[in-house]
């Protein structure tokens, strides 16, 4: 190697800004989304569960409903 090395001064990296918290949507229909899920759950309980009972039997309908409700409850409360 020929020549001399020159020392470069180290610069400290810029601090990253803190991540901003996401604001919840505050539109006029923002509350309707939650009630839509409630309506879908009630419709499933009143229509889907008796239909599954008639087609699959009592044990399969109850196990399927319990598994589906457990999955949905886990997804809704995961934060």
Q: What is the pLDDT of residues 42-56, one digit of tens each?
A: 998 899 999 999 999
pLDDT confidence band for 13 (50 / 70 / 90) = confident
Is the full-model pTM beyond 0.85?
no
pLDDT confidence band for 32 (50 / 70 / 90) = confident
Domain boundaries, the chain: 32-77
Sign of the dihedral through C-alpha 72, 73, 77, 78 = negative
Higher pLDDT, 11 or 56: 56
CB atoms within 10 A of CB 47: 10
pLDDT surpassing 90 at residue 67: yes
Q: With beta carbons less than 8 A apart as the criterion, state whether 47 and 41 touch.
A: no
79 DSSP 8-state letter = -
CA-based radius of gyration for the chain? 28
Give percent above pLDDT 70 in the chain. 77
């Amino acid at each position: 190697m020929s020549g001399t090395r020159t020392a470069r001064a180290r610069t400290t990296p810029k601090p990253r800004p803190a991540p901003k918290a996401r604001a919840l949507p505050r539109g006029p229909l923002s509350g309707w989304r939650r009630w839509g899920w409630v309506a879908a759950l009630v419709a499933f309980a009143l229509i889907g569960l008796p239909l599954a009972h008639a087609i699959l039997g009592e044990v399969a309908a109850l196990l399927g409903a319990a598994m589906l409700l457990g999955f949905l409850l886990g997804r809704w409360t995961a934060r």
